[in-house]
Every structure is written in C-alpha cells, then in structure tokens.
Amino acid sequence: MIAEGNRAPHLAAVLVGNDGGSMTYVNAKMKACEKIGFKSTSLKFEASITEDELLKVVLDLNNDPELDGFIVQLPLPKHINEQKVVQAIDPKKDVDGFHPVNVGRMALNLPCYLPATPFGILQLLQRSGIQTSGKHCVVIGRSNIVGSPMSILLARNAEPGNCTVTLCHSRTADISYFTKQADIIVLALGKPGFLMGDMVKEGVVVIDVGTTRVDAPDTKAGWRLKGDAEFESVSPKCSWITPVPGGVGPMTITGLLQNTLLAAKKAIY
C-alpha cells in the first residue's frame, strides 16, 4: 500500500485507567502494529475522565480522516456506560466488532468487522485444517465478546462453520453432559482449570480463551496466566488444544489488525 503511494493503515487504542491486563493488551497491540508497518496511536486517560469527555474523544476519532479504526479498551470505570461508548463508535471504524451494526451484520452473515477474538479463533481452526462441518461444538460462556458471537459464527453456513452448537453458561445444569459429547469445545468462562480431563472425550479439539492471573510466588511477576482448561489432564485426550498463554491471545491481535487492514482498504463499508 505504501509502495503505491498510500499511507499505512492506522489503528488507535483508547485506554482509561490503570488496569494491568488492559495495559498489557494495548501495549501488545501497539507492538504488533509497529512490527508489521501499521501506524498506531495510544490515547491514555485517567480513570476519573467523565463519560461526556470520553464520548467527545470517540467523536473526534470518528471524524479523523487519517485514522482507519480504533478500539476503546474494556472494561471501563463503573461511572461510564460501556454500551453508550461502544454505540458512539462509527461502525466503519469499529475494528473490535462490538457495535450493534457489526453484530447484526455478523448474525445475518453479511460483510462486517468480526469481534477480534472470534475472528482469531476461526483462523486458528481454518489454518490448522480442523474440520468443523457437521461437528458438535460446545461453547462455554455467553459474553458478547467471545461466547455469544462464537456460537453464531460456528453455526452459520460457512467455512469454518456448519457446526451443531450448544451454548452453555453459568446456569447450565450438568455441563459435563454436554462437554463429553463435544467434538470441539470453546472455553470462555474466566474460571481457571474449570474443564477437567474426565469431562471430555478422546480426540476433542479445545480452544481455551481463558486468561486468569493466578498467584505464582515462584515467578518473577508473582503470578502466571492460567486457562479455563486444566491442561495437564485435558491435553492428553485432545487432538488439538490451544495453550495459555500463547494460543488465542496472539490471534485476537491478529483479528484486530486484519479488521484494521479491511478498514484501510474500505473493504467492508
């Protein structure tokens, strides 16, 4: 694109407050932009910023012709309505894929910016040659960021897709009844070690989205990331399993950058 006289794709990230996990994610996204030649802008604000002030930041980014896409890193402080902020983002610049317009287009299988983590998971499945058509997929967790969109994407008439999907959550009785039948399990609960080896069948594919910080006095940081699957007992039964860290996380960033490239090329809108 640059060789043709165009500018590099430009991604901005808005970070409010000092949440450790959010700061780590934003830094990783900015480093990934630098690595592949994107322009990146990081905007940091104190947790005391008002909702109106943040909405003004969003409006300015919407109207910046030099910016292709931007994200507002969640969670936001409690005094700010997250949905109000997300809905204020121009769908054409919503490279996180959270705006109701993009969610609705996704549900109708129309061109859109897919949520970054589900987008990355689809690529993990596709690039690893994992067949999804006709398979039984159990998604555990119903968040708007991962669980709910994953259930829609894996059930759609597409590749990857064409799964029979069961969506389980905190109110599902006897989750192991479903997981024992699953060909593919997508775990997005945020409960470390939730899925145990006796809950899965031989040959299962496990996509572990969980990234919870647990105490680890033996490490320099004093903590380590743990997934929702108990890796030691689950992995011997798997045909494929994503590690934590290093599995879904990097693919989330890949999904975000691919959405930014689509935005720069005006490929969706």
List the catalytic residues.
29, 73, 96
Is the Cα torsion angle 25, 26, 29, 31 positive or negative in sign? Answer: negative
- The structure tokens 């430009």 sit at 10
Which residues contact residue 194 at a Cβ distance below 8 angstroms, ignoring those fewer than 6 apart? 140, 187, 210, 228, 229, 230
**Nearest CA to 122 among 112, 132, 110?**
132
**Nearest CA to 187 among 155, 209, 162?**
209
Edge to edge, the sheet with strand 204-208 lists 164-168, 136-140, 184-187, 204-208, 238-241
Q: Within 13 Å of residue 7, how many CA atoms lie on the same side as its CB?
A: 11
CA 164 to chain centre: 22
Pull the structure tokens for residue 3. Answer: 């060789």
